[in-house]
Amino acid sequence: MTRRRALVISVLMGLGVGVLVLAALLPSENLGDVSVSTNPAVSELLPARGDTVLPQANVGAILAPGWAGEILHIGGTAVPFDQQRVEKALNSVIFRPDAGLALERLPSQQVCATVRYWPVRNTDRTATIDWCFRVDG
């Protein structure tokens, strides 16, 4: 074997080992929803963006302290405010489908929802966040 060939093989083996080490060190889990993690008002979406849930799953948002909100729609269906569970102490607004409500169950498909939120001290400054998830069943 020539010196040149030995050098090329050594370099290629070193690169291969480097790639394996890099792959092992990089985080393998999803780092979260960028639009939520960079949003100072929204702590968590229920269900999370892209999750797969059952037709009776809770839908809503957990907001940061000092923020309030309401669910505008789930899957194109407007959700009346009096059917939403608003927990001021927990900064959350949640809807759970049930008989006699706007949605008795979530449709088995890709479902998108929208929550409107605002700072408690300035209710005129509203914003919305949209997300989608999958419903099985």
Pairing type for strands 77-78 and 110-119 reads unpaired
Largest Cα–Cα separation, the chain: 81
CB 79 within 8 A of CB 40: no
Q: Using a cut of 0.75, tell me whether the model's pTM lies above it.
A: no
Cis bond upstream, residue 47 (ω within 30):
yes
Length of the chain, please? 137
What's the gap between Cα 80 and its chain centre? Answer: 23
Task: Write out the chain's pLDDT in tens, 137 residues.
Answer: 788 887 878 877 777 776 666 565 655 444 456 667 788 999 999 999 999 999 999 999 999 999 999 999 999 999 999 999 999 888 999 999 999 999 999 999 999 999 999 999 988 999 999 999 999 97
Handedness of CA 26, 29, 35, 36 (dihedral sign): negative
Domain boundaries 34-135, CATH class: mainly beta
